[in-house]
């Protein structure tokens, strides 16, 4: 029991330092250099938005508790047994949540297998976690070096004094069972108890199950926690419960977005290149100006492409943030909506997106190439196919590729006109500026 008490003491000391780390982390985040793995503005968004979600959930927890402990799960899923239930036989608190992912289990599993600090991250509010020193950086791609997960391995939530889990049971790509194991600095795996736990005892599972649906083209991802503890700890765990929901809900959404985008990309030419259209234009302005103008338009801060195209960034500070999710509507004879997720960015040179919702699935790639100091070649390669049986049927009779290219040419013309007007305005301002005294 003394070993568990030592671990509890370490965790309590870490919690006391949270406020100090929060302030230090915020100052460090705002001073970070551009090009870091997570931009300071994306981190700030995590802090503001994620913090607001957590605060609201905590305040409303007496009314929302049943909802967030069963979020997304059916009655059958909540009642069904799961691998790992035996590790906490008589839970005092717990939940079962679920989400449907449009990708088969073998495409979802790699994202789950690499979770953890120092690995693939947790796909949640990284900026919020890093304010308290977790040093989490969620990956936007599958990391081959973190796919070999075995029983007895440790999954961290942060550096040495943060909680960790031990892998208790694993069967790829069907289930992963983790058990709270103290901290990496002092691993302590609790015994399974059938009676009221003794003082300073806590045991918590983190159980994941991947159930195939729709001929294994979809996955039902179910996650469960079973928690027991010694008398006197109920209040602290009840306070942790709504915080856990807010962070884990974001994690499930993040895992879903990554797995779906990756599955679309992995399907290959047979499914994603019904249309393979490349449109190119030469814009008479330097590359950095062209890149900035296009990103500003895609962020919705300018409107030179309207009414033909309108984009709103839903997740992420900027369209050219890796992981940003954007909703777009292209207007013509019909309004065509779609959602993209930014997967690769080389600032000033390339932006690659995956179409993850709406009318199309596939990829789109912007490239920006210097011709000389004053001219830039802009290219957009569109490799997609219509999503859904109705759109696929209609596409047989509609000039989709031709309409796409027409819209792109219009956009390139408006981009050139916008930059020309901007240059003329700057030149006019300089001409009419009063002379400086010498």
Q: Is the pLDDT of residue 154 over 90?
A: yes
Region 109-118 average pLDDT? 96
Predicted local confidence at residue 224, as pLDDT: 98
- Relative to beta strand 275-283, strand 375-386 is antiparallel
Same domain, 297 and 331: yes
Q: Is the pLDDT of residue 117 over 80?
A: yes
Q: How far apart are CA 346 and CA 35, in angstroms?
A: 10
Only one residue has tokens 């985040």, namely 29
Region 117-142 average pLDDT? 91
- CATH assignment of the domain containing 390: 3.30.530.20
When comparing pLDDT for 268 and 201, which is higher? 201
Same domain, 60 and 96: yes
Region 413-424 average pLDDT? 92
Q: Which of 73-87, 119-133, 256-270 has the lowest mean pLDDT?
A: 256-270
Same domain, 254 and 128: yes
Same domain, 227 and 295: no
Same domain, 352 and 239: no
| Structural domain includes residue 66 | yes
Same domain, 256 and 285: no
Q: Which of 82-86, 246-250, 324-328, 387-391 has the lowest mean pLDDT?
A: 387-391
Predicted local confidence at residue 357, as pLDDT: 82
For 91, the token pair is 């839970």
When comparing pLDDT for 20 and 198, which is higher? 198
Q: What is the pLDDT of residues 180-190, one digit of tens each?
A: 999 998 998 88
Q: List beta partners, residue 222.
A: 98, 209
Q: Which one of 208, 243, 266 terminates a domain?
A: 266
| Structural domain includes residue 436 | no
Number of structural domains the chain divides into: 2
pTM beyond cutoff 0.75 = no
pLDDT bucket at 197, cuts 50 / 70 / 90: confident
When comparing pLDDT for 270 and 165, which is higher? 165
Q: What is the pLDDT of residues 60-71, one digit of tens each?
A: 888 889 899 999
Q: How far apart are CA 292 and CA 325, in angstroms?
A: 18
Cβ neighbours for 194, distance < 8 A, ≥ 6 positions apart: 89, 90
Residue 173 preceded by cis peptide, ω within 30: yes
Q: List beta partners, residue 220.
A: 100, 211
| Structural domain includes residue 18 | yes
Q: Is the pLDDT of residue 29 over 90?
A: no
Residue numbers of the domain that contains 339:
269-426
For 183, the token pair is 């901290």
Same domain, 153 and 277: no
Per-chain mean pLDDT for the chain? 84
Q: Is the pLDDT of residue 43 over 50?
A: yes
Q: What is the pLDDT of residues 382-404, one digit of tens each?
A: 988 887 766 777 777 788 888 88
Q: Which of 257-271, 307-321, 417-431 has the lowest mean pLDDT?
A: 257-271
CB atoms within 10 A of CB 427: 10
Instruction: Give percent above pLDDT 70 in the chain.
Output: 84
Same domain, 183 and 279: no
Q: Is the pLDDT of residue 323 over 80?
A: yes
Same domain, 249 and 313: no
Predicted local confidence at residue 429, as pLDDT: 63
Same domain, 221 and 285: no
Asked whether 274 and 385 are in contact (CB, 8 A), the reply is: yes
CA geometry: angle 28, 30, 33, nearest 5 deg: 85
Q: Is the pLDDT of residue 22 over 60?
A: no
| Structural domain includes residue 431 | no
Q: Which one of 218, 235, 266 terminates a domain?
A: 266
Q: Is the pLDDT of residue 2 over 70?
A: no
Same domain, 285 and 409: yes
* 8-state DSSP, 49: I
Q: Is the pLDDT of residue 33 over 60?
A: no
3-state secondary structure of 267: coil
Q: Which one of 205, 239, 266 terminates a domain?
A: 266
When comparing pLDDT for 427 and 275, which is higher? 275
Q: Is the pLDDT of residue 1 over 80?
A: no
| Structural domain includes residue 432 | no
Region 322-331 average pLDDT? 86
| Structural domain includes residue 278 | yes
Predicted local confidence at residue 279, as pLDDT: 95
Q: How far apart are CA 298 and CA 305, in angstroms?
A: 9
| Structural domain includes residue 297 | yes
Same domain, 242 and 151: yes
| Structural domain includes residue 434 | no
Region 4-8 average pLDDT? 44
3-state secondary structure of 405: helix
Asked whether 229 and 109 are in contact (CB, 8 A), the reply is: no
């Amino acid at each position: 029991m003394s070993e568990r008490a030592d671990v509890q003491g370490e965790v309590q000391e870490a919690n006391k330092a949270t406020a100090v780390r929060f302030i230090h982390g915020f100052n460090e985040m705002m001073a970070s250099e551009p090009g870091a793995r997570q931009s300071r503005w994306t981190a700030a968004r995590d802090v503001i938005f994620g913090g607001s979600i957590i605060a609201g959930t905590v305040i409303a927890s007496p009314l929302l508790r049943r909802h967030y402990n069963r979020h997304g799960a059916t009655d059958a899923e909540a009642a069904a047994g799961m691998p790992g239930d035996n590790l906490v036989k008589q839970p005092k608190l717990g939940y079962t949540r679920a989400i449907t992912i449009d990708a088969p289990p073998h495409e979802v599993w790699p994202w789950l297998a690499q979770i953890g600090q120092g690995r693939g991250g947790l796909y949640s509010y990284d900026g919020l976690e890093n304010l308290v020193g977790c040093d989490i950086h969620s990956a936007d791609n599958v990391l081959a070096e973190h796919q070999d997960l075995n029983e007895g391995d440790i999954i961290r939530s942060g550096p040495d004094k943060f909680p960790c889990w031990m892998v208790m049971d694993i069967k790829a790509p069907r289930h992963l069972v983790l058990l709270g194991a103290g901290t990496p600095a002092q691993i302590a795996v609790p015994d399974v108890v059938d009676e009221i736990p003794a003082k300073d005892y806590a045991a918590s599972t983190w159980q994941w199950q991947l159930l195939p649906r729709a001929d294994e083209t979809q996955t039902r991802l179910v996650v469960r926690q079973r928690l027991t503890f010694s008398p006197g700890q109920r209040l602290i765990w009840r306070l942790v419960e709504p915080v856990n929901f807010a962070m884990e809900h974001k994690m499930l959404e993040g895992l879903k977005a990554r797995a779906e985008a990756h599955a679309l990309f992995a399907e290959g030419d047979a499914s994603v290149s019904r249309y393979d259209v490349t449109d190119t234009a030469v814009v008479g302005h330097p590359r950095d100006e062209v890149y900035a103008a296009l990103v500003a338009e895609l962020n919705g801060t300018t409107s030179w492409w309207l009414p033909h195209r309108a984009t709103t960034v839903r997740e992420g500070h900027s369209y050219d943030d890796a992981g940003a999710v954007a909703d777009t509507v292209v207007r013509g004879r019909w309004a065509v909506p779609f959602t993209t997720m930014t997967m690769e960015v080389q600032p000033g040179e390339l932006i690659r997106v995956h179409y993850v919702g709406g009318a199309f699935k596939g990829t789109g790639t912007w490239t920006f190439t210097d011709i000389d100091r004053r001219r830039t070649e802009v290219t957009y390669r569109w490799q997609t196919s219509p999503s859904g049986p109705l759109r696929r049927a209609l596409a047989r009779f509609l000039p989709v590729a031709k309409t796409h290219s027409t819209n792109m040419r219009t956009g390139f013309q408006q981009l050139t006109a916008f930059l020309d007007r901007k240059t003329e305005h700057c030149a006019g301002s300089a001409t009419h500026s009063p002379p400086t005294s010498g």
